[in-house]
Structure 1
Amino acid sequence: MSAELSDLYRSLTVVADGVEIAHPELVRRHADRRARVQVAGSAVAVAVLLGGVAAGGRLAFSADGSAPLPPPAGTPASPPPTGSALPPSPSPSAPPSASTASPTPSRATPSGTRSPEPTGAVTAPPPTSIPDRAFFVLAAANRTGLESTAAGPVLPALCGARYPSESAVVQRRARSLAYKRPETRVGSVPDGSYRHSITIYRPGRADDALRELRQAVRACPEQRMPDDTRTWRQRLLDPGAYGDESVLFELRAPYPQGMGDPGADEVRLVRAVRVDDVVTVLWEQGWEYTAAERAQVDADSRRAVAAIEKWLG
């Protein structure tokens, strides 16, 4: 230290009334420490400035439409301030749907994937007309070629019975056809004939028709026919398995004098079969006092039902 500076400090000591002044060496050490602090503060400021520049560059990169850089690994996301409400993030707009119908339900398949759930079978509307194909065709050995669509009753009279289900008839068609037994030569007199009818009822009414027919047979165990002096007896028989349900009954009376085998009866058979809302009736009417044979009527009844079921599909 120079002599002038030492003299100056001694003078200040005298002027300060005895107050002790820090030694020059101590003052220099304080000055050196302050300088180091200033240098460190400058370095921190430079680092902060560089960080701000980097952040600004990153923000500028995001503003150009590119994805922002991710935060450093291990940096936790800052939670929003307590009580603050952040606006919900807008969800991506979905393209407009071509249809507003609800999606078809799905079900799991064995592979674990999902497949559309079946919507179920579509119920066909009830028929309103009867095509020719709804009528059965006789077996080749039974055909005579004799057939007619002339009007007439489709059931025998049963003590004047009335059928309320007639008000539910949608359409009815009927025909008459003659048949022969296989052993009868072509061109000979037929062995019998049928009155065959098909009736469409309104939904839920066809079973009423069969119920009413059973009641009519039970209520008429015997009767006299117009223009016939004989007494006819009616009774229900085991109908067998035909269609959804069926009714079978017979009409029986002694042969007129001189007709048929002595002591034998003339027999007519009537079978009504329901398939859904359709009822087909096969009424065996004979031919010149012949008697119906159950085996023949059964076989032709099966043909009649098969034709109905094929038509209704």
Structure 2
Amino acid sequence: MTVSLPITYAKKTTKGAADSRDEYFLQLPGRREVDVFHDQTGEPRRMNFQWTAISQQVLASSQIRHPLYQFDLHGGCSPAGHIAQFRPALVTYLWDVGSPQPPGACWANGKNAPVGQVEVAKVLDTSAAYAMDIPPPYRLKAGTYRGSLTYSIGPGGDFDFGNDATELSGDSLTVNFVLDVQHAFIFEFPPGSDRAVLEPQGGWDAWLTGARRPGRLYRDLPFRLWSTGPFKVYKQCQYEDGDRCGIRNDDSDQVPVTIALSLPADVEHRGGAVSRLALPTGRSAALQFEAATPTLNRAGQLHFEVARDDVGSMLAHPAVPTQAR
């Protein structure tokens, strides 16, 4: 990725100078850590940022005096591109940074100029390539994250153009980061899943023909999940029964129903697998789930269960229960 930088200046160069900083010289900043913050929650995330290449458009008085028309390159950069024109004597170059952390100084001198020749070159435009090491997007909450880095410009600064760099466009550069994180999220139930009919294992026939009381009533509803980021889950109850939902008959006899969730192995809660995890009631108590990897069309289940002791209460007060939701 590349970006244009608002950096222009004049650079005095001396061919064959004892100090490389008197040649056409530059040193880029090293790798930096930057914190970006979620617009709504203020939640921080840390990433690494580094400059990997630099390109400049450089004007000199003539080709033969140009420090970059035909040049030898030294230090921590390697040539990656070069365009030159005769009138005016304008060169646009691209240098790769060999080791962004830490970057070595780079300097060049023109092959055609005699040793000791002094030239003042004008840097008309600066661009750079960069790389960012961001947290995995599927572990980032949806929304916009913002942050910034500020670099110093000048001798001994983050962007260092050597000795006799004058007419600098500024003494600092601020890079603003905006990360727009958008996630796909689909919870898909098959048709008919708007009703969960709770039954004993094997159905009611055994009990109706004289068998002992069923051990429990339950229903497992399958679903398919697509998720590329973290999400939260909670339940809402028509009738609350402690930390569970209640179902009741027309006479207001009520029993609790446990509602639990099983998710694909790609999704974790507090670093562990999600298997029959009871769901809390209300948005404020919602459970946070994290994606270990993006989840695409994976199976999960929603579990409804009336425990054995409560089945006895239901059988003692038979009726058609109203819905819990």
Same fold (TM over 0.5): no
TM-score normalised by length of structure 2: 0.19
Q: Which has the higher contact order (CA 8 A, sep 6+)?
A: 2
TM-score normalised by length of structure 1: 0.20
**Who wins on radius of gyration, i.e. which is larger?**
1
